Structure 1
């Protein structure tokens, strides 16, 4: 037994020594501080790039486990975080030693090749360090960009906006929906479109002086993914007083569907909850401080995508790393005892959710995705939200968890149809189209 303990002690000591040595080794890799270029810096073909780095004094060779051997700086093309073709050396065998135990700054100007095309590039600082028995190479990468102008294959103006999309989805999903809001003086055609699709617009006003909100949506023809830039317009002019007048017509048994695209959203949610309305909240776009702005403890059903779930959980002080969608749904449901359910949409991976009818009746839901050819994902999330609530209310005579199952299934199918079409509001399918897919 004594021998075993000695062996174990030696093993632990050996590991500790290795770890200490490696820690010292890697501390040597901080001898260089890059001052130029900076991440995200714009460059132009034919212009000069200033490369500047500061060398720190190294530990004396007799006590240091390693020393710097050299530094190469090169220029290459990249795609996202992936290195592509190396285009040239900026500086080979750069100076690496500080002098007289003082910090030394080295600067070099390098002309960017005149044939450099618009796109994404990077500058690599490749450090070589010699240890007693081995060498290692560490690379620090600075991402830079050459200004790029893209040609579009087409342009269309279509009605949209999260709240409007969700209202149309509720109506097409068989629900009775009243849309409340403030439209711009250029948006009568949007109001007409929503009325044609079954939405009651009697609680919606049109501003005489303000323009409507805009979403500038760029859609990739290769993947169907989108990039959206928002201009709030009249969305930022809606007030709690406006909402209070509308809410006079509603009460217990009714639902309010809210997003994070209008002003004073938290105050409006409080007003609705205090009048006894159930709250479905889709907190998009996710903004810093949203957990302080909105009363999440008054939300009945929360619908988020996986990234929003991660951001929200982190904002609440949790560690989202390594947690899947169902784990995040469970954690969020724990945080808010009043909440009945959390739905997490996973894009091409389907939907997961966690609902509770009572404290001891909790159920997980996993809905696989529908395999379709994706053209435009812009309105998919809003279609899901609207169809979920429409179906959940329509199935009110069913068992609670059966209602949730029906709602998730119909919403999932509706969203899968929406992504096969261009646009947002006009991509929402009819209930007959959804039921036809479910029958297959």
Structure 2
């Protein structure tokens, strides 16, 4: 039996597709794809494991004015890459699971097994998918759980050996090994089976974004990877302990789900340069606009217009998280900062990274911070940005990644042909099968 390879940190970078500003003299759709193709080539050359696309479903949502449709976007990138994984963010609140199964199944086919789904339940966009207000978090996550049940059953509706090569080299379909799923639930009725052939990965890799209590429960039960905002080691340790304990109660293997964090890095050739860059960023902050950012981090229902910047937030201004309908995990983080005694000015500074992990220093110092979390078992996948900028690319690839590879934290090369193989993820049991293995 082959020994299991040692655990290594997996790497992701943004594929583009969103923009806060457009040069109106050029075609924005062409420019964003051209940039993404360049970034994809740089990322694959650096042996980064996957490209990540976010999604926004409203004009002006969370500060951005442009957003490409993620599945179409990464499908285009699949044709100019061969090894790097392709992560598309898609909401279960505004999509039907039968379509999701077909869309991600097709992406897995056209990419030869490099597809991943970042599942979100959405905190914006209901005005474009009406009628009605945004459902409560509990309702959104209940729908998401049923969506996953349906999608996984559809992906598994083709049993092993359902499609084989005949003596003439043409595919032979064994209909008795393709079964309906006959799902009838609270939100969906889906007969199945899926009407596309078995997927290269059988199931695309499943990522779930969200760290509220309801989000953590969903991730613990289903996700192979959870994408979260974990700004400090203590928060990361607490979150990892809780979600893995919940996952174990669902009977899932130890070490699942993997923990995926965004890394907001400020690189300097020296420690002094990194400090200067942080100081320059802070001096450029529009603190009046920052009041609105903090209010948004606290759920959007807080009026901070009259509070002095150097005052602490009174408890009376902090929301009861159970009454917040959008991004409860972010509210938990910023309400926690306020209860620790952060002033409004300090909260505005923290809001520039929207609750994500932020570190400044030389590549070696940043590698220390990354290695600390990795060795502590609270970091399995990390998102690194800036490959399109020559200076940032040099710091990421020749600095941080090179240092992490010297320390054997990050692998030197891809280990397989599919994303699932490169991430070291085994296939979960087949949905509802039980009597036949994958062989």
Would the TM-score normalized by the shorter structure come out above 0.5? no
Q: TM-score, normalised by structure 1?
A: 0.29
Greater gyration radius:
1
Q: TM-score, normalised by structure 2?
A: 0.29
